[in-house]
Amino acid sequence: MKILYAIVSVTCFIFSACTPSCSSDVSSPDGKIRLLFSLTNDKQMTYQVTVNDTLFIAPSPLGFEARNGINLSEGFHITGTDFDSKDETWSQPWGENKSIRNHYNEMAVHLTDTLDTRLTLRFRVFNDGLGFRYEYQLPGADSIFVMNELTSFNIAQDGISWSIPANFDTYELLYRTQPISQTDNANTPITFKTGNVYGSIHEAALTDFPEMTLRNEGNCLFKSELAPWPDGVKVRIAGGSFKTSWRTIQIAPKAVGLINSGLILNLNEPCALETTDWIRPMKYVGVWWGMHLGVESWVINDRHGATTENAKRYIDFAAANNIEAVMYEGWNEGWENWGGSQAFDYTKPYADFDIKEIARYAKEKGIAIIGHHETGGNIPNYEKQLDKAYKWYADLGIHSVKTGYAGGLPNGHNHHGQYNVRHYREVVKTAAKYHTTLDVHEPIKDTGIRRTYPNMMTREGARGMEWNAWSAGNPPEHHELLPFTRMLSGPMDYTPGIFDILYERAKKSPLRKKWNMVDSKDCRVNTTLAKQIANWVIIYSPLQMASDMIENYEGHPAFLFFRDFNADCDWSEALAGEPGEFVVIARKAKDNYYLGATTNEEARNVNIKLNFLEKGKTYKATIYADGKDADWETNPTSYEIIEKTVNANDNLEIIMAKGGGQAITFIPVL
């Protein structure tokens, strides 16, 4: 349905004085969210948002500033306004939900200035929030240097916010819970509650543009701050036209509504790949945690983790435990230069890692290999080898790669500017050429491009498990904040599932002692065992890792959960939760359901209706619960496994210890 409104239907006339203002508005399909665009008397572009007729985002500036006399924000007048709406359901090869409803009303405001700059501001309002983007055309311009973004989010009433600080190089930071007005700056997604409404500001479809962070200009007015190039330019455009990423505000009456929203994916372009049948979610184990604990090493020496023998041991374990893949770090030459030139060679395995034999053995056992490319931040070195490296892996039958960018970038570039956004996309496209899926560590933030490139499966982009190995670690509330902030952007390779919570086995390792890897900090995992299991469900990743060394799983009764788990889910719903407090999420994969519930430092009981189960079916529920005496600080490994027969009419009381959780598999009884 496309309606070209007559100019007279908006509240101003072309070239007429804007008194009191020129404005037009668009509402969500259910009428609850209303966005009003206005040109003020002095021709500044602004927008505001109401939710249930209450001001939610007060009038907020729009536009950009550019170099060389190019105007991107001032003196515009409206030449027309188009309205459109869509209600469609589309499906994706994998995801929290295989099918997603895309239902919105659109308003495209067309503007121009006296220099003939043309701008379309495209607003889309959904029942779960809104997005808008800028589409500029500057006839005759051969380049544009964007210096500043004016887009702001003027949250109308103070409340509470949950966010990490703005930083152009890392997202591996602790979350802060603080008044919105006292949040100086933030990276996105920043989630907040004002009045009775929850919101989250982020962006969608970040393409050839720098990331947006937010700076508080006073009270609750957050202005976009783009990650710069080394010379201070924010965006370099070749030619005279560009579209920005979408600026998004998710809105929901309950916090879990933010998690259940498909808005970020809906604002991305449909799949650009010709075929997707080579893309499949997998569970994996890997030669990884031993390195972080110092029991093994990336570099070749007597602690070397990625040896042929160890690789085969992991393949055998995966094959025996219904796990589809294994991942190896420290397999290639270059780790000896760690912290120096970071000049990795992506086609030269270490002498004790016989990759051809390992690939042959994995194939024989039906196990996929996830390769590893650590760049250490040396982008030019990686780009030089990119095509060759992905082809080389593909020729060996390796079609999934974990990448890493741990280290500073050369020539003053930061990780999140336009330069590196381009690089990350180049890698996605090269990987797709070789039918290869990606798990990116130290990535650019997720903005939903997995819809367009479903081989971009998962990424890190927050403090993951590794922080527990060598720092004070992630506090229990971290896992109650991730689902309401970072996870709104997309899947995360957190790498849950450490069973040796206090590193008792690692601490006994003679090699760790010999190499003086025993640090003074009392490192450990800050949860109970049941919470580790629940995080396999909660922290969604289509490549889901059981991250502990396999010795810690062998013979452990609770590892049955991971054997039964399926990373290829069809449906998901966040059932209950509050940011920083607790969360309960259910997922379905084929005929089985999985539920994960976790809590912060507080012990908690949550009553859950099982009405998400298929009606008329009976299920065997296997419950992995905190033991009665469990406590994340004093008794983290106490757990129990309880079996029950349940159906969709039942309620379940979920009992969680301090820093604990609960995981449940529901398998139909035939």
Angle between helices 308-320 and 355-365 (to 10 degrees): 10
Q: Token digits for 77?
A: 């007048």
Q: How far is the CB of 413 from ligand NOJ (least distance, A)?
A: 19
Contact status: 441 vs ligand NOJ (CB under 6 A): yes
DSSP string, 388-407: HHHHHHHHTT--EEEEE--S
Q: Which stretch binds Ca ion (CB under 5 A): 226-234, 377-385, 438-446, 540-548?
A: 438-446
Beta carbon nearer to Ca ion, 100 or 327: 327
Beta carbon nearer to ligand NOJ, 107 or 293: 293
Contact status: 460 vs ligand NOJ (CB under 6 A): yes
Q: Token digits for 270?
A: 């449909």
Query: Which position among 324, 446, 466, 477 is part of the footprint of ligand NOJ (CB under 6 A)?
Result: 466
* Residue 343, binding choice from Ca ion, ligand NOJ, none, Cβ under 5 to 8 Å by partner class: none
Q: Which stretch binds Ca ion (CB under 5 A): 71-79, 176-184, 253-261, 457-465?
A: 457-465
With CB under 6 A as the rule, give the number of residues binding ligand NOJ: 8
Distances in Å between the alpha carbon of 250 and those of 198, 260, 482, 484, 612? 8, 10, 16, 11, 24
- Our answer to whether residue 149 is catalytic in this structure is no
Is 182 buried (19+), middle (13-18) or exposed (0-12) by CB count in 10 A? exposed
Q: How far is the CB of 401 from ligand NOJ (least distance, A)?
A: 12
> In whole angstroms, what is the distance from residue 234 CA to residue 12 CA?
34
Q: Which of residues 349-388 bind ligand NOJ (CB under 6 A)?
A: 374
Closest CA to 454 of 274, 267, 326, 258: 274
Distances in Å between the alpha carbon of 450 and those of 70, 139, 428, 439, 562? 34, 33, 10, 12, 25
Q: How far is the CB of 441 from ligand NOJ (least distance, A)?
A: 4
- The verdict on whether omega for the bond into residue 253 sits within 30 degrees of 0, i.e. cis, is no
Assign 3-class secondary structure to 567-608.
Answer: CCCCEEEEEEEECCCEEEEEEEECCEEEEEEEECCCCEEEEE
Beta carbon nearer to Ca ion, 418 or 495: 495
Q: How far is the CB of 309 from ligand NOJ (least distance, A)?
A: 21
The residue annotated as part of the active site, out of 149, 203, 211, 466, is 466
Site string for ligand NOJ, 310-329 (x = CB under 6 A): -------------------x
Q: 437-440 and 400-404: which strand pairing?
A: parallel
Q: Which of residues 220-279 bind ligand NOJ (CB under 6 A)?
A: none
H or E stretch including 148? strand 143-149
Beta carbon nearer to ligand NOJ, 129 or 376: 376
Q: How far is the CB of 304 from ligand NOJ (least distance, A)?
A: 14
Query: Which position among 271, 406, 517, 667 is part of the footprint of ligand NOJ (CB under 6 A)?
Result: 406
Q: How far is the CB of 292 from Ca ion (least distance, A)?
A: 10
Closest CA to 541 of 645, 464, 444: 464
Beta carbon nearer to Ca ion, 404 or 661: 404
Contact status: 548 vs ligand NOJ (CB under 6 A): no
Residues annotated as catalytic are 466
- What is the binding site for Ca ion (CB under 5 A)? 441, 460
- What is the binding site for ligand NOJ (CB under 6 A)? 288, 329, 374, 404, 406, 441, 460, 466
